[in-house]
Structure 1
Amino acid sequence: MKLVSIANPQRFMSSRLRTLASVLIAIPILCFCVLLLIYVVDVPWIDDIDAFLSFIIGYIDAPTLGEKLDWLIRPNNEHRILMGKLITLAMYKLTGIVSYRWLIFAAFAFLLGLLVLFYRIFRSMKLPLLAFVPVVFLLLQPQYYLTSMWAITAMQHQVVIMMSFVTIYLLASDEQNRFGAALGVQVLTSLSMSNGLFGWVAGAVVLALQRQWIRLGIWLLLGVGTIVFYFHDFPDGQGNESSVSFFLKYPYLVFLGFFTFTGGLFDFFSRADILWRSVLPTLAGFVIILTMLGLLWRMNEPRLGRRIGAYESSNRATRALWKRRYFFTGCYAFLMVNAVIVAFLRPRFGYEVMLISNYMIYPAVLVILIYLNILSERQTELTLNRWVGFGLLISLVIWSNWYVVQLPKIAYRKHQMLTYAFNQKHNKTGLGPSWGSSFLALAERTMNETIRRGIYAYPEAYYTPYESQLVLSQQMKPDTSLHINVLGGGYSYIAETNYNALPQPIDKAAIVIQSAQRTYLFPSELPYTFINYYLNRPIRTIQAEIINPTVAPGHYRIGILSPLDGKNPIRFSRQTVTVPTAIEDSKR
């Protein structure tokens, strides 16, 4: 479509184009909703157990108001998650249960709130609706599915980004009655994730640009107090001191990691080796940061040069422009502090962390801000047309790419989570904790207690019709025609049936390992590989990775679960594996 005169609403905003823009905006919203409805499962993963289920038990059993407040604000791992706990508590009070699906849906509401906030900024520019379409496609795409589909990360990143931007929006209005609201939102944000503390820096930048010195003093005083309170009873052993050693040894990795992270939206070669995979995001990061710096200079040079133009006395359009400028500047400050912290603290876990799905909402939001900022600072109609056309092209390419690339991973993760829920239910481990870890007892106690009280229940899955048979199948004789190849050891074994060993294609299936006391399932990934998933190839082989640290030490025979095999859904071979007492985790 050729964009003409987009800056002229009389010529551009026909009813047909408004309808087209509305349809285009609805597409990513509906697709994202369907994605969550289909693939989000009511199963906790690692920190979810302690953060929500353990919390609700502790809160219910706390005898005093002071102890209940303590359960709300006490740290979980590296963060306090007050807003997530308040939402969990509200869910429990209203329904009597804790559902991880509904926690993720609640976090999605904050993501939609962020979209609404972006629309408010956009609407003040008086531009046709079509120019807003790239924002929706860039925000509602599944690159960051490990944020949007995992309860703890959804309740942290999505919630805190939205609340931090609301705080900056309130401050950008430069109105006395909104300053108090901004303080309240910022304190709540600070206690909802450590990233929320960066809002104090962003807010200070906005207030300094506005030369609101009294408000800035109040802001800094309350900010320091909040930060001191946030860290006063943190658990020891966070391990961040090793990041200093890593930086001193590999400063170039931290420097490059900053740009790789900020350009992460353009991680188009996720299957490549990390060296080649990171080239495009790193180059994109350089372009993004240079563009952002240029915009920051253009917006704030009049203030820094003391040519205070007439923000206070100009017309309405100029006042709206300066509000947007304060908003963009504050949001950039928030995101840049976050990027610096990630680049400094995380590369020690491996450079791949710079492009991990958990964090990729931040580069997406950064690109959205830059796009809106360019529209806000538009100079000519021709320039605006080009940027909107470019934004439409890039956003559609990115949105389409990430749906194609991530959908098989998302489908497999659902299969994986449901399978591991069986292991947790019957063997104490499966949903995160390793055998013998200190977290094992807490996870077992928490899951058992919430199930006993009716607060949580494991969802039904593909193995549910065979669950009792799996648990009680120790006496089942081996099938001499079934041969399973086993490779590896140490951290994991790879178990796979012979090629075309099954009489019919499989869908959801698993490798089964069984001792005299325990039965574990491990999900078959073959139906969810990129090529098999999209070509819908008939799969007659089961392959799975047996994660040894999640298994109790012992000697296990190996079998398969194939629900589509109506005659013999459960079969065991003569092959065995041994999980030793001490696991050498070679991958960590």
Structure 2
Amino acid sequence: MKLIENQQFKYLLAGFPILAFIYALISYSVNIPWLDDFEVGPVALYRWLQEVEFQKKMAIIWAPNNEHRVVTLKLLVLFNYYVLGQLNFKWMILQSHLYLIPLFIVIWKTLPKSNRVLFFLPVPYLFLNFQYYLSTYWMISSVQHNLVIGFGALAMYCLSKNSTRRFWLALGCTLMACLSNSDGLFFIPIGALVLLLQQRLRGLLIWLMLLSSAIVLFFWKYPSMNYHESGINYFYQHPLESLNGFFVFMGGGFDFWYREQTSFRLIETAFVGILLVFILLISLIRLIKGLGFSQFIQRFKDKSSTQPNVLFVLSMLLFCLMNAGAISILRSSWGEFVYLIGNYKIYPTLALVFVYLLVLLTWKPSSMLVGLISIFSIIFWGFSIANSLEDVRQRKILLQKERVLFRKGEVGLGFTAQQQKDFGIDKIMRFFESKGIYSEE
């Protein structure tokens, strides 16, 4: 116990998963595109360089990838080309993880100052695990998710502080989140709710006017509306499938048996999802009780019911819940295992972190209980590494092998030989290699 009470030891213990994650990120990220990486990377850059008219160049940046506008990703590609002189997918994976720094900073600032290091200890172990490794090591997924989480967290933290200066920063960050991935749009109604709770009606009006225009632009010439309509129609016909999918999605961070499509996976993750939502609801009830039911309206008028740290945590949890809701409705027709796709798991993992933070702020647990949570988080982290590290290694080896096949015009990196010719990918990659812009080495 004396060791855990040592401040330096707690810093080392909290920093260990961060250093391990950075080491793994550098070791297992490769400069090899896969599947959608081609469209938003070399194909978009090639079209940009070939195009002369400014308006058409902007259209390339604005064009969606599937149902997502990934403007910030394409801007990152241009940054790497014009500033760093390279089209390097490994660099972009590493750069995308820089956006997790503001996430960790605002979480740190949210924690109680007394014994802050101990309270922070479970966070890196819960979040920096290998459960969502596809989102970590696949460039397009890494950039999309990390940027939307980083910008969104900074936006909600600034907004929760009820500051005019920070309001404009929150507005800008929310816009960047919207341009990073479709779920960035969720921060618009979430931010509006925060402003409403703070009774900042002027800010709410500005927020809705400016960001509602972002929604209009986002869906302008949007090619996937039919896809969303079919998903909603399926939801109307099979609502219970989506309800079950919601809880399966929320428990996806504990999907350790992802190699097989068994009913156990669905039952186990649904149980964890129900448990997380239950803890969330109990924490909300405790929060409202703490404010006092009879005085709640008066506290709202006095603005004493809107604690900044609680608002921030709730806004991020609402973001995770909205992701779960959207996926469970729009993807339900894809089958019952769609909720456990690897790159989705970053959101239930994020929810796990913020459920812990909500418990911390509303239950005010003892140091001993936080210590037990820390032990659980370390075990969870260790189990995720033992379970998925070999998959991460094998994915790197597989991409390197498929890169050789791709160069020979054979099946590889998500494309058949015919698809490579139809989309001109082989020609585009040879172009960048001949110019020294792209090199696997």
Q: TM-score, normalised by structure 2?
A: 0.92
Q: CA deviation at 1:67?
A: 3.3
Q: CA deviation at 1:435?
A: 4.7
Q: Partner amino acid for 2:78?
A: L
Q: Partner amino acid for 2:210?
A: L
Cross-structure match for 1:307? 298
SS of 2:32 mapped into structure 1? coil
Distance in structure 2 (CA, Å) of the matches to 1:415 and 1:311: 60
Q: 1:412 aligns with which of 373, 383, 394?
A: 394
| 1:242 and 2:230 matched | yes
SS of 2:227 mapped into structure 1? coil
Q: CA deviation at 1:153?
A: 0.2
Q: CA deviation at 1:59?
A: 2.5
Cross-structure match for 2:333? 348
Q: CA deviation at 1:236?
A: 4.8
| 1:106 and 2:95 matched | yes
Cα deviation, 1:161-208, whole Å, max 9, x if unaligned, reads 111111111110111111112111111211111011011021011111
Cross-structure match for 1:494? none
| 1:133 and 2:121 matched | yes
CA contact under 8 A between 1:84 and 1:156: conserved in structure 2?
yes
Cross-structure match for 1:156? 144
Larger helix proportion of the pair: 2
Q: Partner amino acid for 1:202?
A: I
Distance in structure 2 (CA, Å) of the matches to 1:75 and 1:303: 47
Q: 1:37 aligns with which of 26, 34, 39?
A: 26
Q: 1:72 aligns with which of 61, 70, 86?
A: 61
Which sits farther off after the overlay, 191-200 or 242-251?
A: 242-251
| 1:287 and 2:279 matched | no
Q: Partner amino acid for 1:18?
A: Q
| 1:118 and 2:103 matched | no
Distance in structure 1 (CA, Å) of the matches to 2:22 and 2:177: 25
Distance in structure 1 (CA, Å) of the matches to 2:119 and 2:101: 18
Cross-structure match for 2:351? 366
SS of 2:121 mapped into structure 1? helix
CA contact under 8 A between 2:245 and 2:339: conserved in structure 1?
yes
Distance in structure 1 (CA, Å) of the matches to 2:287 and 2:72: 34
Distance in structure 2 (CA, Å) of the matches to 1:246 and 1:299: 37
The change in CA–CA distance for 1:91 and 1:22 in structure 2 (over 3 A counts) is same
Q: Partner amino acid for 2:377?
A: S
Q: 1:233 aligns with which of 221, 227, 231?
A: 221
Q: CA deviation at 1:284?
A: 1.1
Distance in structure 2 (CA, Å) of the matches to 1:269 and 1:458: 33
SS of 2:298 mapped into structure 1? coil
Q: 1:326 aligns with which of 304, 311, 329?
A: 311
Q: Partner amino acid for 1:265?
A: G
Q: CA deviation at 1:303?
A: 9.2
Q: Partner amino acid for 2:258?
A: S
Q: CA deviation at 1:151?
A: 0.4
Distance in structure 2 (CA, Å) of the matches to 1:150 and 1:278: 25
CA contact under 8 A between 2:283 and 2:363: conserved in structure 1?
no
Q: CA deviation at 1:255?
A: 0.6
Distance in structure 1 (CA, Å) of the matches to 2:179 and 2:259: 37
Cross-structure match for 1:444? 426
Cross-structure match for 1:397? 379
Cross-structure match for 1:337? 322
Which sits farther off after the overlay, 182-191 or 385-394?
A: 385-394
Which sits farther off after the overlay, 29-38 or 291-300?
A: 291-300
Q: Partner amino acid for 1:176?
A: T
Cross-structure match for 1:375? 360
Distance in structure 2 (CA, Å) of the matches to 1:205 and 1:387: 32
Cross-structure match for 1:545? none
What fraction of aligned residue pairs are identical, expressed as a percent?
Answer: 29
The change in CA–CA distance for 1:60 and 1:346 in structure 2 (over 3 A counts) is same
Map 1:24-103 onto structure 2 (within 5 A): 24-103=13-92
The change in CA–CA distance for 1:356 and 1:2 in structure 2 (over 3 A counts) is farther
Cross-structure match for 1:491? none
Distance in structure 1 (CA, Å) of the matches to 2:406 and 2:226: 26
Q: Partner amino acid for 2:47?
A: G
Q: Partner amino acid for 2:348?
A: P
| 1:214 and 2:202 matched | yes
Q: Which has the higher contact order (CA 8 A, sep 6+)?
A: 2
CA contact under 8 A between 1:125 and 1:376: conserved in structure 2?
no
Distance in structure 1 (CA, Å) of the matches to 2:89 and 2:418: 26
Cα deviation, 1:540-581, whole Å, max 9, x if unaligned, reads xxxxxxxxxxxxxxxxxxxxxxxxxxxxxxxxxxxxxxxxxx
Q: Partner amino acid for 2:344?
A: Y
* Pairwise CA RMSD: 2.5
Map 1:270-285 onto structure 2 (within 5 A): 270-285=258-273
The change in CA–CA distance for 1:153 and 1:162 in structure 2 (over 3 A counts) is same
Distance in structure 2 (CA, Å) of the matches to 1:134 and 1:142: 15
Q: Report how many aligned residue pairs link the two structures.
A: 438
Map 1:14-29 onto structure 2 (within 5 A): 17-29=6-18
CA contact under 8 A between 1:428 and 1:443: conserved in structure 2?
no
CA contact under 8 A between 1:421 and 1:430: conserved in structure 2?
yes
Cα deviation, 1:343-386, whole Å, max 9, x if unaligned, reads 1122322222212220111111111111112222244xxx3234
Cross-structure match for 1:179? 167
CA contact under 8 A between 1:28 and 1:140: conserved in structure 2?
yes
Task: Kindly name which structure, 1 or 2, has the bigger radius of gyration based on alpha carbons.
Answer: 1
Cα deviation, 1:256-279, whole Å, max 9, x if unaligned, reads 110111111222333454311122
| 1:424 and 2:406 matched | yes
The change in CA–CA distance for 1:453 and 1:137 in structure 2 (over 3 A counts) is same
Distance in structure 2 (CA, Å) of the matches to 1:149 and 1:350: 25
SS of 2:408 mapped into structure 1? helix
CA contact under 8 A between 1:296 and 1:329: conserved in structure 2?
no
CA contact under 8 A between 2:155 and 2:174: conserved in structure 1?
yes
